[in-house]
Amino acid sequence: MRPFLALCLLIAACASPDRAFWGVEPQRRTIEGRDYVVYVDRRDRQPRVQVIRMGYARRPEHTAILGAMRIAAEEASGCALVEGSAQGDSGVLTARLRCPPAP
């Protein structure tokens, strides 16, 4: 039973992206003292991002966390989020990106 509990705790500590982001290298960001793991997928014509919050957050913190997740996504990608494309909550946020044209 103990190995099973240890395995559950280990798995819970992982930041696994959605299947669409498998194979994308994670980037770690710290915004306002909170850690996030960011996955930027540039493999398609329309780039996308997924941000995963690490750690526990109390209910009053959730609104500020959504803003911090946006900052983490834009810092990691160098692109702006497409307005209205964000889906998710303060735990996992997925959005499309508007990136400047490549030189």
Where do the domains of the chain lie, and which CATH numbers do they carry?
16-98 (3.30.70)
Q: What is the pLDDT of residue 100?
A: 86
Q: Which residues of the chain have pLDDT under 50?
A: none
Q: What is the pLDDT of residue 102?
A: 72
The closest alpha carbon to 36, from 95, 96, 93, 103, belongs to 93
CB-side neighbour CA atoms (13 Å) of 31: 23
Q: What is the pLDDT of residue 13?
A: 55
Q: What is the pLDDT of residue 10?
A: 52
Compute the distance between CA of residue 65 and CA of residue 51 in angstroms, rounded to an integer. 11
Buried b (16+ CB within 10 A) or exposed e, 35-59: ebbbbbbeeeeebbbbbbbeeeeee
Q: What is the pLDDT of residue 103?
A: 72
Mean pLDDT of the chain: 90
pTM, entire model: 0.84
Whether the CB-CB separation of 75 and 92 falls below 8 Å is answered with no
| Total Cβ atoms within 10 A of residue 76 | 19
